[in-house]
Structure 1
Amino acid sequence: AAAVTRVRLRLRVGGAAALWRSSIRCGDALVEGAWTGCEYSLVAGNPPFLSQLGKKSVRSRAEQGALLKRFDGHVAGYADTASVFLLLGTELAPRGTVALLQPMSTLSAADALPIRIACEARMKLAAVIMLPDNTFGAAVRTCIPILTQRAPATVRIRNADGSLHRIARQRCSGGAWGAALAAARGVPDPCASCTNGTLDDWMRSTADFRQHYYGLRGHVHASEGAAPSPQAPALVTVGAIGAARLDWGARPVRIHGQTFFGPIIRTSELMNDAVLGPWVLARKGPKILVATQTRAIEAWVDAKGIAMPSTPAITVTPKRAADLWKVAAALLAPATAAEAWWRHAGAGMSAQAIRVSASQLRALPAPGNHAAWDRAARALAEWQRLGTMSARDKFAGLMCDAYGVPAGAAREQLLEWWRAAVSDARAGDVAASVRARG
């Protein structure tokens, strides 16, 4: 490949063969000393995409250790190797421009955050070009972050359809490059002017692991029409969790290779198990179940403690039992959903969905208007009970007040986006009117 490149460049550009022989080399660009004494005005290209979740592309322990040392501890975890080349580019062109093709996850993946912050320490994100899906014939969504020494007031985002967006620089600072994808997807800036601390002040959140999912093999049963109870709780998959609703039992689900309508577990079967016994004790009682990979944050309040999460659902509990509905209201707020997009867009499996971890939920802002927040908590309980659009809209308006979203066009844009994202499958008001006419 190196020889072919030398010949083609010589034919196209000219120059002596010796020049191209010394300029085009085959080697590991990421090792210490590979670029000693080199500085360029432009670094552009298509680095290798090496996901750390694939067996064939995962770095060995020795390679990971070498990169960790080479890049001062910034390369860790599951960061795609392509993002390491982005960091290398900022070393090679500190006063120039870096434009390297990247997987979309580079913009927001938690493991790539140290790399994004290190890039910002040397250069500034000036623009992001979003490429169409399957541009390179692979199921990987791609983009081109462009880094420069100069820090423009706004970051330009060129969408795959050619449309241009501009967002304030501070929205992308601190490694929050997912804001570029949020803007490209048309997610409105929440403009929350009244916040106070984070949700970590109010709640605990956790996700379960493989041993909890597979440990339940042989212990999942069909409810056979019986209502769930604390002793025989519903086993809730993420697909059953909606915004203020639970679709458990509404359609069949596959668990451990079997199909169930309304799956339950019996806690008495699990209490003596070394893994599942403590899990049951930790998850029982009132809680909030949060779905993953959704268009907006979707959560359902288990006020009676009659449900248990199936991996990868997130379990949230308030630090004060009396705040159960308040915490759920903050999670379901339109401003929270939009803020999650602006912080974490790009990490989901679908371009239309976000994936927010348990710790990222806790880091989201808490409302500052507590009077409106209290009213919204009561409105949420009504929305979950009635399932109507009018109850939903009342809740959404109160949470906009709680977060200080200004009235006017900005609020209407946020609410319109949020209503579409959490569209209630039960269509409560329509169903109610049909029943009334019948």
Structure 2
Amino acid sequence: MPTQTVLADLTTLPVPADVLALDARDPLAHKRDEFLLPDGVIYLDGNSLGALSRRVVQRVRHVTEEEWGRALIGSWTLGAQEGRDWMALPDRVAAKIARLIGAQPDEVAVGDSTSVNTFKVLAAALGVAAPERRVLLTDADNFPTDLYVAQGLTALLGGGYELRRVPADEVAAHLRPDVAAVLLTQVDYRTGRCLDLAAISAQARAAGVLTIWDLAHSAGAFPVDLNGAGADFAVGCGYKYLNGGPGAPAFLFAARRWHAAAPVALSGWMGHADPFEMARDYVPAPGARRFVTGTPMVLSLSALDAALDAFADVDLHALRVKSLALTDMFMALLDPVAERLALTLVTPREPAQRGSQVSYRHPQAREVMADLIAAGLVGDFRTPDILRFGFTPLYHSFADVYRAARGVQAMLEARA
């Protein structure tokens, strides 16, 4: 049976009264109207690319037509007193992200990509570590770009610097005297497993090891408390749960205690204390702004800035409560049929160990996901055999979850 036929009426599938009651009580339900969600589609891939905010459409139009189109170069400084100048845009966006990750505004820098920012914080961490510590420790199955950047930096430095990869469960046992820093992703991009940021940071600190956290799959999905955990550095992207759009600028975090000592490996002019002095020697700007490298990407930064406004009135605790409720429901609906349909859950059931996604192994995962996407149920496939479904508390309803679970079930039954 064609996949389109199997799921033709999925988005209008009747929903039980108890599920509708959950949506009626949801304190975040009104947020859904702030996003443009395509008709006939259940979108469960916001952990790869967040949905489009209506605010972003309006803001990008204004930036292109008015700020760029009419004010032209004047927009770099025009409106500075009202906080609308382009020069300060990275700092305004940083302040909005800081609230979501448990940081102070001057500890966050926004710009470049996650990969470039990973290079910056790795270099900074190695620069403040004791000279005899020359090992970067990481999860062997960490996100590939984190591994690639670390490989490149250690090769560039030479001199005995080494990237040491160990299983995530063995990180604590490898916090040895030769380790300078540990690089970990808080939420595993494949399984959705969430590491204990506070506990691991404490273990590393006790061993004299700096911590570098990748928040790509956690920032915006649930509250993060970097300062509460005593984290040293972190990075994250703007286009997943922050909904900043494809290729949105990334961010980095550097704890205040490292601002004076940590080297800035990419010391660009926008990280200078006075960029328009055009001095011939680099003098770092105060705070994390020193890690901003080149000219702000005004169009994409403005889009991210507008997208972040969706969080302004959101209780981050309520965000986490809803995330866990959505993922709990999805697993509970598929539990009775999982074994029969060859689905093996790889996402932890324990709430504290779960991000905002649910992943299953399936022997034909690539083909199954292709069929689901063709039929309007958009999730994600990750090698070698993982079906990945992301849940965004700001715009997903419990009705979405019910219909998605029934759609997965119907698709697998049809294939069988």
Q: TM-score with structure 1 length normalisation?
A: 0.27
Give the number of the structure whose residues are more often helix, by fraction. 2
Alignment TM-score, normalising by the size of structure 2: 0.28
Greater Rg by CA: 1
